[in-house]
Structure 1
Amino acid sequence: MEKSQQEFLTYNEKVPYVANEIGQDASIGEVFEYQASPEEERRLLRKLDLFMIPTMGVCYMLQYMDKLAISQATLLNLRADLGLVGSQYTWCSAIFYFGYLAWSWPTSYLIVRLPLGKYLAVSVFLWGGVLMCHAACQNFAGLITARFFLGVGEAAVAPGFGLITGMFYKREEQPARQGAWFVGNCIANIIGGVVAYGIGHSASDLQSWRLLFLALGAITSGYAVFLFFVLPDSPATASFLTPTERTIAVQRTLANKTGATETTPFQWSQVMDAAKDPQVWLLVFYTFCVNLANGGLTSFGAIIVEGFGFSAFKSLLIQMPMGLSQLVFLVITATIATCIASSRIPVMVLNVIVSVIGTAMIYTLDDDQKIAKMVGLCFVAVFAVNIPLILSIVSSNVAGVTKRSTVSVAVFAAYCVGNIVGPQFFLASEEPVYATGIRASLCGLALGILFLGLLFTFYIWENKRRDSKQGQVVISDLEGVVAAQANKTDRQIPGFRYAL
C-alpha cells in the first residue's frame, strides 16, 4: 500500500485533502484508511441530500423562471411596447444562446481552475443583475444586448451543478440526485405563470413586463449572495460538514474513479481524448436534436397556448400543467434509473417518445380541439427531464477532470446551438400555429431517439470489448483511487466500465 500511495503522490502533488480534528491536512492515504460505518455513511448521505439538493434546486428554479420571463413578457405587451416586428422577437430568443455558447468554453477552463462554488455564485449574481437590466430596455437593440449577456451569466450553472453532484455522490446515487435538483425546473414551470399573472395584475405605474424582470432579477441576485457563503467548492471544503464527514465524503468521491475533487491543471490531452470519444459525439448530436424543440417551445410556448383560443392572462396560468407533467415523469424516470440497473438510457428514450406523441398531437389535431392540443403540449415538455439524466451519464461515464468539464461544456454547447437553430423554424408569418416549427421539433425529437439508441449500443459493445480483452477486471479500492486521482480518463483506465 505504501508503494502505491508513494507512486500516486509522485504523479500528482495536488492531492485532495480534508481537515482533520486538529485542523491539519490529511493525506490521500489517511482519507482512504478511514473506515466509515454504514450508519455514518447513511447519516452523511441524508445530510448531503437535505443541504445540497434544495440549495441547487432553488437556484435552478430561479434560472428557469428567468428564462421563461421573456415568453411571459410577450403576453404582457413587451413586443408592442418595444416595437418588435417580423423576426426580431425570434432573434431576441436565440441571442440568449449565443451568449451561453460564447461563454461555455471559458467556463470549461474556469470551473477547473477556480473554486467551483464561488464561481457559480458570482455567475448567478451577474445573471440576476442582467435580468434586471431587461427592464431598462427601450428598443430591439437594447433587448437583444441584454439577452446575450443573460446567456453569458447562465452558462456555468447547469454544468457546474452536474460536476458538484458528481463530486458528492456515488455513481449509482447520481441519477436520483441530478433529478432532485432539476425539480426546480418543474416548479418554475408550475409557479412561473402564477407569478407573471400576479405581477401583470399588480397596481403599478411601471409596465408589467418591466416589473416582472425587476422582481425576478432582484430575487436571483439576492439568492446568489446566499450561495457564495454556503455552496461548497468540493467535499473537502464543505463548511456544513464536520471534519469526519468531509473525510467520508472525499472517500466516497474517490470510489467513483472519475477524477480528482480539487482544482487541477487544465490538460489539453484530455480535450483531445474527448474529441476522439464516440460517446461524446453521440451525446452532442442527441442534445442538439432534441433542443430544436426546446428552443422554439420555450420562447413561443405562451404564444402557441394563446393560439389555442385562450386569453393572454389565462395563457399564463394554463401553462402550469406543463410543469406538472415534467414533475411526474421526472419522479418516475429518476426512480427507475436509480432502482433498476442499466435503465438510464431506456427511460430517456421513453421520455422522448412521449414528447414525439405530444408534438404529433399539436400538429395533427384540429384547432377546435384545444384541450387535447394542450395535453399534447404538456407531453412535449417531458423530454426536458432528460437533462439530469444526461448530466448523470457525463458524471458517471467520463473520467478525468478536464475531460469531464470539456464534455459537459460540449453538451451544453450543443444545447445552445439547438436552441439557436430551433426558433428559426418558428416563422412570424405562421403565428400562432407555427407549423414549420412544429415539424422541425418533431424531426429533432425523432433523431434524438436514434442517437440515444446508438449511445446505448456503444456502451454495451465497449463494455463487452473490455471484458473480452481484460476479463472481468475488479480494481482494488486503492488502485481505483490512484487511477482516478492521477486524473486519467475513462479510456485510459482498464477497469472502467460504462454505466447504462
Structure 2
Amino acid sequence: MKRRSDSKSKETVSQVEVNPVLSTVVSLDGREIEIHQLDADVALQYHQDAMDLVMEPEFERKLVRKIDWCLMPVIAALMSCQLMDKTTNSYASIMNLQKDLNMSDKEYSWVGSTFYFGYLIFQFPANLLLQKLPLSKTLGAAVMIWGVVLMCHAACTNAAGFLACRVILGVFEGFMNPAYVLLTSQWYRKSEQFMRACVWWGFQGFGTLLGAGIAYGLAVHRSGNYSFDSWRMLYIITGIITVVLGFVSLVHVPDLPVKAWFLNEKEKKYCVERVKGNQQGFGSHKFKRHQLLEAFQDPVLYLFFLYGMSYAIPNGGFTNFGSILLKGDFGFSTQNALLMGMPGGAIDIVFPISVAYLTYRFLNNNRLVSCIIVQIITIIGMCCLNFTSHRGSRLFGYLSFYMATSVSAGMVSVLSSNVAGSTKKVTMNTTYLVGYCVGNIIGPQTFISSQKPGYIGAKTAMLVSFAAGLLCIVSLLALYIHRNRIRDKKRAALGDKYQVPDTIAFADLTDIENPEFRYSL
C-alpha cells in the first residue's frame, strides 16, 4: 500500500512539473480557477518577450495599416468568391439550368437547401479542425477543394448529380466564416473589429457584381447554339477563380500573427500586446469540455442561433430566387434581371463600411445600436416589398435586403469580440452558423411554385424573419449592458484588494470566467 501511495504522489508531482499552475483567479461567480501552463492560450509563450514593451501610438497605427493591406485584400477577395459561388445558381436558373438538367421547380428549390445540409453537417468538425490545425493552411486547402467541386457542377447531366455537388460544396465552404471570425479576433483590437468585419463581410457584394457581370457576358455573347452551355461555363470560370484565390490564401495568410512573414520582431511583439487587451489571446488547441457546457448554458448562444436563422431565411431565398423574382415579379428581361444583381452588390460593399464609419463617428462605436437602426430600415423595406404596388417602392424593398449585410457583419464582429475561451468560441461559432444553415435551408422552400411570380409567402417570411432578428439584437444589447454593470459593481466592491494576475489575458478563460472581460457593445 505504501508503494502505491508513493507511486501516486510521484505521478502528482510529475503532473505538476509538466503542467505547472501559473496563477489563480477568482471568477465573478466566486469560483477559484487555476491557470495551468499547458491549458493556456498559444499567445502565452510569446507574452514574456513583450512584457517590457512600451506601445507607441504612431508605430501601432502604421502596424495596423500594414496588417490591413496584407490581410484584408485576400480575405475580401475570398468572401467575394463565396457569395459569387452561391449566387451563381440564381444566374444559372435563368440561363436554362433547369431545362438542361430536366429539373422541376421543386428540385430547384432544393438546390439552395442541399448546399446548407453539407454546410450544417460538417460545421462542428470544420470549427474543430480550425482550432486543432494551423488555421490558414486548413482554410486554404478547403477553399481550393471547393473551387474544384464548383467546376464539377458543369459536368452534371441530371438534377441528382447537381444536388450531390451542392452538398459537397457546402462541406468545404463551411470553413470560411468561422476562420475569419477567428482571424479577426487574433489580429485586431475589439474597437477595430467592426470596421474590419464590415469590410470583409461587405465585400461579398463584389462577388455579386463580378458574378452578375460574368453571367451577363455569357448570356449576351454566348446566346447562340453552343455545344457547351453558358451556365456550365459560368461554374467553370467561378471555380477557377476560387482555386487561384485559395492557393494565394494558403501561401500568403499566416496561421498566427507571431508567424507572419510580413512582420518584423518588434511588430510581432506589438501584435501580442495588442491582443492582450481583448482578453482572448490567439486561441488554444486544447478542447475543453467545461467551456462547451458553459456555452450551452449561456443565453447568448441561443440569441445568436435565432439571429443567424432570421437573417438566413431571406438570404437563402435571395441567393437562389433573386433573379427569378426580378424577371417574373418585376418584369425585367433575362439580361436586365442579371444586371439588376449589380446594385445589390454595390450596396453590399458601400453600405456596411459607411455604417461602420458612422458608428465610430457618432455612436461611440456602439455596434448593436447601429445594427438595430439598420434592421428597422430593412423591416420598412420589407413592408414596401409586401404592401405597396408602385414598382419603385417595391424595388427599394427588394434592395433593402442588401442593407442587412451591415447588420450581419456587426453581429459577426460581436461574436468575434464578445466570446472568450477557444472551445466556447468554437461552440458559439458553430451554433450561429447552424442557425444560418437552417435559415438558408428554409429560405428557398418559402418560394412555392403555385405562388409565382409574386411569391407572397416568401415575401411574408422575409418580413417576419427580419422582425424576429430585431428582437434578438435588442435582447443581446440588454444582456451585455446588464452583465457589464454587474461586473463593474463587483470590481468596485473589491477595491484595492483585487489584483489582476499578469497571465489572465492569455489563460484561455471564457468571458464568464474572466473577471477582467468586458462586453463591447
Please name the residue that 2:275 is paired with: 253
Aligned to 1:87: 106
1:379 corresponds in structure 2 to 400
Moved more, 60-69 or 234-243: 234-243
Residue 119 of structure 1 corresponds to which residue in structure 2? 138
Assess if the C-alpha contact under 8 Å between 2:39 and 2:508 holds in 1. Answer: no
Q: Does 1:185 align with 2:204?
A: yes
1:274 aligns with: 295
Q: CA deviation at 1:475?
A: 11
Select the residue among 237, 255, 262 that pairs with 1:233.
255
Structure 2 CA distance, aligned partners of 1:420 and 1:60?
20
> Is 2:40–2:507's contact at 8 Å kept on the other side of the alignment?
no
Between structure 1 and structure 2, the one with the greater Rg is 2
Q: C-alpha distance in 1, partners of 2:46/2:93?
A: 56
What secondary structure is seen at the aligned counterpart in 2 of 1:33?
Answer: coil
Equivalent of residue 390 in structure 1, options 411, 423, 426: 411
What is the 5 A alignment of 1:57-456?
57-203=76-222, 205-258=227-280, 260-307=281-328, 308-339=330-361, 340-341=363-364, 343-366=366-389, 369-456=390-477
Coordinate RMSD, CA, aligned = 2.3
TM-score of the superposed pair, with normalisation by structure 2: 0.89
AA matched with 1:108: N
Contact 1:399 1:484 in 2 (8 A): no
2:137 and 2:298 map into 1 onto residues whose CA distance is 31
- Cα contact 1:176–1:337 (8 A) shared by 2: no
Q: Deviations over 1:67-106 (max 9, x none)?
A: 1101110111101111111311011110111111111110
Asked if the contact 1:336/1:343 (under 8 Å) is kept, the reply is no
Unaligned 5+ segments in structure 1 are 19-24
CA change 1:219–1:475 in 2 (3 A) is farther
Residues of 2 paired with 1:327 and 1:427: CA distance?
31
Instruction: Give the direction of change, closer, same or farther, for the CA distance of 1:239–1:472 in structure 2 (3 Å limit).
Output: farther
**Alpha-carbon distance in 1 for matches of 2:515, 2:120:** 34
Q: In 2, Cα distance between the equivalents of 1:432 and 1:96?
A: 24
Residue type of the partner of 1:271?
Answer: L
Please tell me the residue identity of whatever aligns with 2:516: G
Q: Which residue is 2:37 aligned to?
A: 12
Amino acid at match of 2:374: N
Q: Is the 8 A contact 1:17 1:236 kept in 2?
A: no
What is the distance in 2 between the residues matched to 1:47 and 1:107? 29
CA distance in 2, matches of 1:342, 1:251: 22
Kindly provide the amino acid, as one letter, of the partner of residue 376 in structure 2.
I
Percentage of identical aligned residues: 32
Alignment check: 8 A CA contact 1:357 1:380 kept: no
Structure 2 gap segments, 5+ residues each: 1-19, 25-33
Residues 149 and 165 in structure 2, CA contact (< 8 A), matched pair in contact too: yes
Q: Distance in 2 between matches of 1:254 and 1:381?
A: 35
Cα shift readout 1:471-498 (whole Å, capped 9, x = no counterpart): 288999x947622321110000112221
Pairwise CA distance, 1:351: 1.9
Q: 2:74 aligns with which of 45, 55, 78?
A: 55
Shift in Å at residue 128 of structure 1? 0.6
Say if 1:257 and 1:481, in contact at 8 Å, map to a contact too. Answer: no
Alignment size in residue pairs: 487
Distance in 2, Cα, partners of 1:452 & 1:486? 29
CA distance in 1, matches of 2:151, 2:77: 19
